[in-house]
Amino acid sequence: MSSNLIPLHFDKNSGELVAKDTRTGYVASFLYTQNTPSLSWTINHNSSTDDFILQVYDTSGNQIIPNEVVVVGINTVRVDFLVAQAGKATIVLFI
């Protein structure tokens, strides 16, 4: 295995994608659901990190690109759109 790859597994109890990287710490996932269309989604992941990868999907499961992603703090991300959106955001957190 390449030294820059991290093995992942899906935790059935928590619903999270998790990994143990002996070099940097842990990787975890967070799923956010926005049921009501909004121009701005405020996502509180409470993971004490601003190091993450974010993907956003509409209610049909199609990936959508936000207008802006703003790190509000180490526990909060704001996702802004030009048109109100409902859907889900998946965040992979490096903690």
Digit-coded pLDDT (tens) for 1-11: 345 555 665 56
> Which range has the worst mean pLDDT, 23-27, 46-50, 54-58, 91-95?
23-27
Query: pTM for the full model?
Result: 0.73
Label the pairing between strands 52-58 and 8-11.
unpaired
* The pLDDT value given to residue 49: 87
End-to-end C-alpha distance for the chain, whole angstroms = 22
Q: What is the pLDDT of residues 34-78, one digit of tens each?
A: 999 999 999 999 988 888 889 999 999 999 999 999 999 999 999
All residues at 6 or more sequence positions from 29 whose CB lies less than 8 Å from its CB, including other chains = 16, 17, 18, 90, 91, 92, 93
So what's the pLDDT on residue 22?
47
